[in-house]
Structure 1
Amino acid sequence: MMVEKKSAVARTPARLTQKARDLKAAGISPALSDSTLLELSNFIARQVIYFPSGLRRLEMQLDADGNLKLQLDGVVKTDSALELETTLFTDKALTYERIVELVGSNNNCTAVSTELLTALIWKESGFKPAAINSGSSATGLMQVTKDAVDDVNANTPSGTHFSHSDMTDAEKNIQCGSYYLGLRIKRAGNVVKQGLEDYGTGAGYATNILACEKCLKGNPANPQLCLNAIHT
């Protein structure tokens, strides 16, 4: 069955790269690196082949969190579903306030507090949505692996589905990562500390996360002091 989807690709990688450099020069995105620009250019070049007709425009947008969004526009007819928007992130860290906001609206693990999940995110990624572990598939704010995504998709309510390629999206990463944390806690007999250690690197992993949670609850005026203790 043929379906209509909004999409598009038109600007060449060179032109989009120049636009990104113009943004950088204007001081809009100081964290935008040349390697990110190259990745962006190569990504756009690869996407053209996936759109069989109706190609019109692909624009780059920069949101408040410093994320580069490739906004597709136009109409294309195809016999398969197309991804309508892909986000490439800079290596810029989000603020503590933004992470708390994201956790508050995307936490799927009722067993843990906003402060605990915030501490975990700091430990895993330093609040960087684009963080990628070169030695594994761990990606994004909560360093979600491909196996974790598969586990979540197989063991969460019907209709819940995540793709590992989405794990650099801050909201989806927290949604999926917190689901996975909830599964680990449940399998640990609802013992939060054990579930945390099963989520992470084993014995000792939970200690400074739990200490940071306590600190954040008791010292909300100086959260960075609490967070810094995790990496000392």
Structure 2
Amino acid sequence: MNEMIENLLSHRSIRKFKSKRLNQQQIETIVCSAQHASTSSYMMAYSIIGVTDDSKKERLAEITGQSYVKHNGHFLIFCADLNRVTIKATNDEYENMLDNLENSEHFLVSAIDAALAAQNAAIAAESMGLGICYIGSIRNNIAAVDELFHLPKHVIPLFGMAIGYPAHHPESKPRLPIDAVYFENGYQDHEDALDRFDEKIGNYYAKRSENNRKDTWTDQMKRRFQKTIRMDVTNHVKNKGFNKK
């Protein structure tokens, strides 16, 4: 097994960081690595916002309810961005572009492009001895985040990423068994695999060094999907010119 694969398999989310900022070279290396991710039709339909303003970090911590959004080495916000492709368009050209700008296809493209870029950034950061944590809870109040960073039409914030020097070393969280996610030649029943995973994750939750509890993966997911969250996201996405058609 090579070093790259070892790094991938040892990933864990870091939620406690030392009070040491990343330097400019580290930031640029991480962002340049993100830029070299695959992108659909060369669109590069994302933007990355680095948050260095402490007052904005404080506001993001309030929105997310997570202190490590403020206390980290650097914080990034990944945005779906179709505004860039319109900047040089005339009014007539823009009107002719709207069907594509507002359809589900290009909403998916921009979200996927952003996610691919972010994962490259995460791998680059971890290869440098840094830790990361994805922050989906910026969507707890997506409109407030949008306003905080003055995002134009056809740009929406998708998720954040806290990066920094780890101040703790949590266990790596188990993943679903391969036969629960990889199927050959068609979707297959995998309830038995979920049963095995429930037993494994139950043992993990009971024995881990922090925040141990009695739980299973399927129970956790059933609770999550029976409680509606972030129902404002749909309207905000459409109001910003995404996924309307």
**Common fold, TM-score beyond 0.5?**
no
Structure 1-normalised TM-score?
0.29
Structure 2-normalised TM-score?
0.28
Q: Which protein, 1 or 2, shows the higher relative CO under an 8 Å CA cutoff with sep ≥ 6?
A: 2
